[in-house]
Structures are given as C-alpha cells and as structure tokens.
Amino acid sequence: MSDAVLLQLMWLASPALPVGGFSYSEALEAAVDDGRVTGEASAADWLANQMALAPARADLPVLAQAHAAWRRHDLARVTQLNDFIGRTRETRELRLQSEQMGRSLVEWLRNQAGGDDARLAHLAALAPSPTWPIAFALATARADASAAQALHASLFGWAENMVQAALKAVPLGQLAGQRILQALVERMPALVEQALAMGDDDMQSFSPMLGIASARHETQYSRLFRS
C-alpha cells in the first residue's frame, strides 16, 4: 500500500470525517438504559458480539462486493446492493443512520478531486438514498485501496465510533475505551477474511436483540444519540 492510499484510508476511517458517525450508538445506549451494559466488561462483550453478528455479516460483505462493482463500473450491481442494505435494516433509526451517513459521504466526495466521476452521480441518485456501505465502497475504490483494506478501514471506523459512544453512554474512562478497542481490533482480521469470502446467500442482517434494543431506543425517554 502506498503512503497516499494509507492516508486516504486513515482519513475515511477517522471519527472526524464529517458524516455524523459520532452521533449514533446503534442501540448501545438502549442496552445501557435496559441494564444490559453496565461497565467495561459488558460493553466489550456487547460490542464484540455486535461486530461479529451485524457489520461483519452484512455491511462488510456488501462493501466488498460494492467495491468490486464500482471498480468494474457495474452500476446495476451497485443498485442491487444498495437495495439490500435498505431492505435489511431492522429498524427505522438504523435505516435512517445508513442513509444519512451515505448522503453525507456523497457530499464529502463531491468536494474531493475528481468530483466529476460518473460513478459519483450514480451514487447520489440511488433511491431512496445512497447508503453508507455503498458510499464507503466508492470512496475506497476511488482511493485505489484493495477490498481487504477498505473493509479493515470501515470496521475500524465503526469500532472507534462505537467505543466513543460507550465512553459517553456507560460511561467509561478513556483507558477502558482503549482496552475495548484493542480487543475489537484483534478480532478484525478474521472477520474481514470471512466477509471477503461471503456470497449473496451468506450475507444477512439477523441480530434480534440489537433490533429490539434499537426499536426501544426510538422511543426512549432521554437519550444522547440519534440511534
């Protein structure tokens, strides 16, 4: 990997990327409110399980396939994958999160060099909205990153945002957050390898407890996060 590609991936994985990832807890806040997550150990378990059951089985394989589709300019396949993400989000707030972050990344891409890319116009026109994995796939394809590199960057960005959510919602100290992040990072290579090998019949979004927690969060009386 060249230094330029590495810097682009670091940029895309950064919580400072202006796509709003920091404003979501993906139902972790509801798990805290329900008493399922009460400290460092339970937060680490929750996030490790969520990472393996949700992004690793849905967003990551979709990202890998969309990355390849963008590279070969297969816009029909891109549309199919975007539809899959929209159909398989288990709650309204999780769907709105993916759509909002997808649209925000489109705006970010428009401000980068090469903003006249025809693929970007197709991404922006996806209905009802471009979703986050599809937009991230184009961003990493334009950066000349490999699919594996794109998946690692995406998963690390997810983990860092979720750990930051845990720091505020549980709450936890910074060192506890770093220990959780280290444990998540150690699991990432195997999950990325698994996602790269998945076909259409393997991709799924089935995590009932997460869906229930997200549905409860939608009507939670007091909350810090949008999901």
DSSP code per residue over 79-102 = HHHHHHHHHH-SSHHHHHHHHHHH
Alpha carbons 194 and 145: distance in angstroms, whole number: 19
**Residue, of 115 and 21, whose pLDDT is higher:** 21
* Cβ 163 vs Cβ 47: under 8 Å: yes
Q: Is domain 25-218 annotated with CATH 1.10.4190.10?
A: yes
Residues 6+ apart with CB under 8 A from 157: 12, 13, 14, 15, 17, 21
pTM for the whole thing?
Answer: 0.96
**Residue-range domain boundaries for the chain:** 25-218
CA atoms within 13 Å, Cβ hemisphere of 93: 21
pLDDT category of residue 115 using cuts at 50, 70 and 90: low
pLDDT category of residue 182 using cuts at 50, 70 and 90: very high
In 34-125, which ranges are continuous DSSP H helix? 40-53, 59-71, 75-88, 92-110, 118-125
- Give the tens place of pLDDT for each residue, 62-91: 999 999 999 999 999 999 999 999 999 999
